[in-house]
Amino acid sequence: MENGFTVTPWEVTGEIDYDLLVQKFGTKKIDEEMLSRLSKYGPLHPMLRRHIVYSQRDLEWLLDLYDKGERFVLYTGRGPSGHTHLGHLMPWIFTKYLQDIFGAELYFQMTDDEKFLFNDSLSLQDTLRSSYENALDVIALGFDQKKTHIIVDSKNIKTLYPLALKVAKKVTFSTAKAVFGFDNSTNIGSIFFTSIQSAPALLPSEQKGRNIPVLIPCGIDQDAHFRVTRDVAEALGYYKPALIHTKMFPGLSGSDKMSSSQPDTTIFTIDPPKVVKKKISNAFTGGAVSAEEQRKSGGKPEICSVFKYQYYLFEPEDKEVDSLTERCRNGQILCGECKKLLTERLIKFLEEHQRKREEARSKVEDFMLKVE
Ligand code: TRP
């Protein structure tokens, strides 16, 4: 926490300085030049226009290959520790956009092993069950079934293991300690785990018998794993995977990351309307104590969690975002009204999502990785 915040695959706390992360991790910001390049493949996603998807590694290289006709594969995943919340959906929605504009195949990893190893209170049965429950949320987003392969680690370990072994042989304990902060009290499964998260990045090449470029859309918190993957990939004869990073989805408490451990300020995809209403009504806005006061002094959209929800996920039109910002700042729209608008939108979105989520139950098996 030297800078007042922490961002690792297993802990995100404090007020995140995203520019500092780019420096510390050695990634590259997605600049105007890259945005203009990306806009040639399809309309820029609001997350790109708003710098929510904001950092990358080797994206130029990947697009150069694509322009020459070489197709890449997408790879992302989920640590199935419980119910899916909106923060999880955000990078998946972006991944779906990438699948659509590039016509790319997707490997989606459910790390039930990881969540078992890193969480004292979860059994393997719990994390396996969550893998299938979370897969319903993935499928509900509309991924192309013919092009999407869901990997459940404990089920597909036979496929992953030879690749994980190759990675593991090249990563020392001292690297794992330096990258992930492990110490002598860390269980040995956790130390090995990063090689399992590397494996799907190499799998497309393995399955197709030639090197396939891979793009990993993920939260910036997952970068540490792929620094390891990228460090060893070339020595193993594979391409380094390219990455595209999202910021973390904010919590309703005003914190920088929505977290399952704070259920009252987290919207889960299975929340019924009544619960959504209650959570939003209690959300942090940073507004003034009285309506009268706020009409005079105006609100602060930059710290308001309700505004952030519109900005990150629910208001696709930039014009509407600008108008909301302005009306908030000069006291024309008050927190109560904003909360009502967001609640209505969320309830509508979740009703639709929950319907598709139930439909997905009969399709799960079709989405699972097929192995010969
Ligand atoms: N470790 C990730 C998590 O806890 C899950 C994951 C596995 C993942 N492979 C990935 C996330 C690839 C992004 C990209 O959520």
One-character DSSP codes across 123-139: -HHHHHHHHHHHHHHHH
Block residue for tokens 């300085």: 17
**What one-letter code names the amino acid at 92?**
W
Rounded-to-integer distance, Cα 29 and Cα 26, Å:
10
Q: Is the CB of 90 under 6 A from ligand 1?
A: no
Rounded-to-integer distance, Cα 350 and Cα 346, Å:
6
Q: Which of 122, 41, 45 is nearest to 80 (CA)?
A: 122
Query: For the whole model, what pTM was predicted?
Result: 0.97
In sequence order, what are the beta bridge partners of 74?
A: 106, 215
Mutation test residue for ligand 1: of 78, 112, 119, the one with most atoms within 8 Å of CB: 78
Note the pLDDT of residue 228. Answer: 98
Note the pLDDT of residue 256. Answer: 84
Distance from Cα 197 to the centre of ligand 1, integer Å:
7
- Cα-Cα end-to-end distance for the chain: 46
Distance from Cα 218 to the centre of ligand 1, integer Å:
7
Task: Return per-residue pLDDT of the chain as tens, 372 residues.
Answer: 567 899 999 999 999 999 999 999 999 999 999 999 999 999 999 999 999 999 999 999 999 999 999 999 999 999 999 999 999 999 999 999 999 999 999 999 999 999 999 999 999 999 999 999 999 999 999 999 999 999 999 999 999 999 999 999 999 999 999 999 999 999 999 999 999 999 999 999 999 999 999 999 999 999 999 999 999 999 999 999 999 999 999 999 988 888 888 999 999 999 999 999 999 999 999 988 898 999 999 999 999 999 999 999 999 999 999 999 999 999 999 999 999 999 999 999 999 999 999 999 999 999 999 986
Q: Write out the two tokens for 71.
A: 């197709």
Phi and psi dihedrals of 110, rounded to 5? -100, 110
Q: Which atom of ligand 1 is nearest to the CA of 218?
A: 13
Contact 112, 124 (CB under 8 A): yes
For atom 12 of ligand 1, the residue with the nearest CA is: 76
Note the pLDDT of residue 255. Answer: 84
Q: Which of 118, 228, 215, 128 is nearest to 173 (CA)?
A: 228
Q: Write out the two tokens for 292.
A: 């009268």
Note the pLDDT of residue 257. Answer: 84
Q: What share of the chain is helix, strand, coil (3-state, %, to 5)?
A: 55, 10, 35
For atom 11 of ligand 1, the residue with the nearest CA is: 77
Contact 76, 222 (CB under 8 A): no
Q: Is the CB of 159 under 6 A from ligand 1?
A: no
Note the pLDDT of residue 371. Answer: 84
For atom 8 of ligand 1, the residue with the nearest CA is: 77
Distance from Cα 79 to the centre of ligand 1, integer Å:
6
